[in-house]
Amino acid sequence: MVFLPKNISSSKGDTESPKEDNEIIINGPNDDEQQQAKDYDEDEQSENKDSNKSGDADTDKEENQSELKLVETGSGSRPESVFDLENPDDKLTVKLESTDNTWLQVSNGEGENKYYDSLTSDKSPVELDMSGDDEIYFNIGNASALTITINGQELEYPLDPKQNVVQKIRVHVKK
Protein backbone atom coordinates (compact mmCIF):
# COMPACT_ATOMS: atom_id res chain seq x y z
CA MET A 1 0.00 0.00 0.00
CA VAL A 2 1.07 3.54 -0.72
CA PHE A 3 0.01 6.57 1.34
CA LEU A 4 -0.10 9.89 -0.46
CA PRO A 5 -0.86 13.18 1.25
CA LYS A 6 -3.34 15.37 -0.59
CA ASN A 7 -1.18 18.53 -0.40
CA ILE A 8 1.64 18.27 -2.94
CA SER A 9 4.77 20.34 -3.24
CA SER A 10 5.27 22.44 -6.37
CA SER A 11 8.16 22.01 -8.77
CA LYS A 12 9.97 24.95 -7.13
CA GLY A 13 10.13 23.11 -3.86
CA ASP A 14 7.48 25.32 -2.23
CA THR A 15 4.76 23.51 -0.43
CA GLU A 16 1.18 24.56 -0.40
CA SER A 17 -0.08 25.51 2.96
CA PRO A 18 -1.96 22.62 4.43
CA LYS A 19 -5.70 22.97 4.54
CA GLU A 20 -7.69 22.12 7.57
CA ASP A 21 -8.62 18.92 5.86
CA ASN A 22 -5.59 16.58 5.93
CA GLU A 23 -7.11 13.86 3.80
CA ILE A 24 -4.95 10.85 3.00
CA ILE A 25 -5.58 8.79 -0.15
CA ILE A 26 -4.80 5.11 0.12
CA ASN A 27 -4.23 3.16 -3.11
CA GLY A 28 -4.25 -0.60 -2.95
CA PRO A 29 -1.90 -2.62 -5.20
CA ASN A 30 -4.76 -3.61 -7.58
CA ASP A 31 -6.64 -0.29 -7.67
CA ASP A 32 -5.15 0.85 -11.00
CA GLU A 33 -5.87 -2.49 -12.66
CA GLN A 34 -9.47 -2.51 -11.39
CA GLN A 35 -10.04 1.05 -12.63
CA GLN A 36 -8.58 0.19 -16.04
CA ALA A 37 -10.81 -2.87 -16.28
CA LYS A 38 -13.85 -0.79 -15.33
CA ASP A 39 -12.95 1.88 -17.92
CA TYR A 40 -12.47 -0.83 -20.56
CA ASP A 41 -15.89 -2.39 -19.80
CA GLU A 42 -17.58 1.01 -20.06
CA ASP A 43 -15.89 1.67 -23.42
CA GLU A 44 -16.96 -1.74 -24.74
CA GLN A 45 -20.58 -1.15 -23.72
CA SER A 46 -20.55 2.27 -25.35
CA GLU A 47 -19.12 0.86 -28.60
CA ASN A 48 -21.69 -1.96 -28.63
CA LYS A 49 -24.51 0.55 -28.26
CA ASP A 50 -23.07 2.63 -31.10
CA SER A 51 -22.61 -0.39 -33.39
CA ASN A 52 -26.15 -1.57 -32.66
CA LYS A 53 -27.49 1.81 -33.70
CA SER A 54 -25.54 1.79 -36.97
CA GLY A 55 -26.39 -1.89 -37.46
CA ASP A 56 -30.08 -1.02 -37.34
CA ALA A 57 -29.54 1.62 -40.01
CA ASP A 58 -27.62 -0.90 -42.15
CA THR A 59 -30.43 -3.42 -41.73
CA ASP A 60 -32.97 -0.82 -42.86
CA LYS A 61 -30.84 -0.06 -45.93
CA GLU A 62 -30.49 -3.76 -46.75
CA GLU A 63 -34.23 -4.31 -46.42
CA ASN A 64 -34.91 -1.50 -48.91
CA GLN A 65 -32.21 -2.56 -51.39
CA SER A 66 -33.12 -4.30 -54.65
CA GLU A 67 -32.45 -8.02 -54.59
CA LEU A 68 -32.46 -10.59 -57.38
CA LYS A 69 -33.61 -14.01 -56.19
CA LEU A 70 -33.47 -17.13 -58.31
CA VAL A 71 -36.92 -18.78 -58.37
CA GLU A 72 -36.42 -21.47 -61.01
CA THR A 73 -33.40 -22.80 -62.88
CA GLY A 74 -34.11 -23.68 -66.49
CA SER A 75 -33.21 -26.98 -68.12
CA GLY A 76 -32.94 -28.51 -71.57
CA SER A 77 -31.24 -27.22 -74.70
CA ARG A 78 -32.84 -23.74 -74.39
CA PRO A 79 -33.22 -23.28 -70.64
CA GLU A 80 -35.48 -20.54 -69.26
CA SER A 81 -34.69 -19.46 -65.71
CA VAL A 82 -36.87 -17.22 -63.54
CA PHE A 83 -35.80 -14.54 -61.06
CA ASP A 84 -37.75 -12.25 -58.75
CA LEU A 85 -36.51 -8.68 -58.37
CA GLU A 86 -37.62 -7.61 -54.90
CA ASN A 87 -37.68 -4.02 -53.58
CA PRO A 88 -36.81 -2.38 -56.91
CA ASP A 89 -36.16 1.34 -57.10
CA ASP A 90 -38.69 3.55 -58.87
CA LYS A 91 -36.18 3.78 -61.71
CA LEU A 92 -35.38 0.38 -63.18
CA THR A 93 -32.23 0.33 -65.30
CA VAL A 94 -30.77 -2.65 -67.15
CA LYS A 95 -27.15 -2.42 -68.26
CA LEU A 96 -25.88 -4.84 -70.91
CA GLU A 97 -22.16 -5.33 -71.53
CA SER A 98 -20.71 -7.66 -74.10
CA THR A 99 -17.12 -8.79 -74.59
CA ASP A 100 -17.90 -10.52 -77.91
CA ASN A 101 -20.67 -10.78 -80.46
CA THR A 102 -23.94 -11.95 -78.89
CA TRP A 103 -27.47 -11.99 -80.22
CA LEU A 104 -29.87 -10.49 -77.70
CA GLN A 105 -33.55 -9.78 -77.25
CA VAL A 106 -34.82 -7.86 -74.22
CA SER A 107 -38.56 -7.28 -73.84
CA ASN A 108 -41.05 -6.33 -71.15
CA GLY A 109 -44.04 -8.33 -69.87
CA GLU A 110 -46.26 -7.06 -72.70
CA GLY A 111 -43.83 -8.42 -75.31
CA GLU A 112 -42.56 -4.96 -76.33
CA ASN A 113 -38.96 -5.27 -77.50
CA LYS A 114 -36.58 -2.88 -75.71
CA TYR A 115 -33.54 -4.35 -77.46
CA TYR A 116 -33.50 -6.74 -80.42
CA ASP A 117 -30.12 -6.92 -82.11
CA SER A 118 -26.62 -8.26 -82.02
CA LEU A 119 -24.53 -6.70 -79.24
CA THR A 120 -20.76 -6.36 -79.64
CA SER A 121 -18.03 -4.95 -77.45
CA ASP A 122 -17.98 -1.88 -79.74
CA LYS A 123 -21.69 -1.16 -79.06
CA SER A 124 -21.32 -2.00 -75.38
CA PRO A 125 -22.48 -0.98 -72.83
CA VAL A 126 -26.17 -0.43 -73.52
CA GLU A 127 -28.51 0.91 -70.84
CA LEU A 128 -32.25 0.31 -70.98
CA ASP A 129 -34.88 2.10 -68.92
CA MET A 130 -37.35 -0.56 -67.77
CA SER A 131 -39.11 1.67 -65.21
CA GLY A 132 -42.79 0.81 -64.89
CA ASP A 133 -42.37 -2.68 -66.35
CA ASP A 134 -43.46 -5.65 -64.25
CA GLU A 135 -41.35 -8.18 -66.14
CA ILE A 136 -38.07 -8.27 -68.06
CA TYR A 137 -37.40 -11.06 -70.54
CA PHE A 138 -33.91 -11.85 -71.87
CA ASN A 139 -33.32 -14.16 -74.84
CA ILE A 140 -29.54 -14.54 -75.02
CA GLY A 141 -27.52 -16.06 -77.87
CA ASN A 142 -24.04 -15.95 -76.28
CA ALA A 143 -24.37 -15.78 -72.49
CA SER A 144 -20.65 -16.32 -71.94
CA ALA A 145 -19.95 -12.89 -73.50
CA LEU A 146 -22.81 -10.96 -71.84
CA THR A 147 -22.97 -9.31 -68.42
CA ILE A 148 -26.42 -8.17 -67.26
CA THR A 149 -26.71 -5.63 -64.47
CA ILE A 150 -30.06 -4.58 -63.01
CA ASN A 151 -30.06 -1.44 -60.85
CA GLY A 152 -26.35 -1.90 -60.18
CA GLN A 153 -26.67 -5.58 -59.21
CA GLU A 154 -25.03 -8.08 -61.54
CA LEU A 155 -27.26 -10.99 -62.54
CA GLU A 156 -25.50 -14.30 -61.95
CA TYR A 157 -26.43 -16.87 -64.53
CA PRO A 158 -28.06 -19.88 -62.85
CA LEU A 159 -26.48 -22.17 -65.46
CA ASP A 160 -22.85 -22.01 -66.50
CA PRO A 161 -22.84 -19.60 -69.48
CA LYS A 162 -19.85 -21.40 -71.02
CA GLN A 163 -21.80 -24.65 -71.19
CA ASN A 164 -25.21 -23.07 -71.88
CA VAL A 165 -24.50 -20.18 -74.22
CA VAL A 166 -28.16 -19.91 -75.24
CA GLN A 167 -30.30 -18.97 -72.25
CA LYS A 168 -33.65 -17.36 -71.57
CA ILE A 169 -34.17 -15.45 -68.36
CA ARG A 170 -37.38 -13.97 -67.04
CA VAL A 171 -37.27 -11.42 -64.19
CA HIS A 172 -40.51 -10.67 -62.33
CA VAL A 173 -40.44 -7.18 -60.82
CA LYS A 174 -42.01 -7.33 -57.33
CA LYS A 175 -43.05 -3.83 -56.27
- The CA-atom distances, in angstroms, between 117 and each of 44, 106, 110, 120, 139 are 59, 9, 19, 10, 11
pLDDT surpassing 60 at residue 10: no
pLDDT the model gives residue 87? 83
What is the average per-residue pLDDT within 25-34? 60
156-162: average pLDDT: 94
Task: Give pTM, 2 decimals.
Answer: 0.63
pLDDT at 92 > cutoff 50: yes
For residues 11 and 28, which has the higher predicted lDDT (pLDDT)? Answer: 28
Q: Which of 18-27, 118-127, 140-149, 164-173 has the lowest mean pLDDT?
A: 18-27
CA–CA separation, 129 and 123 (whole Å):
17
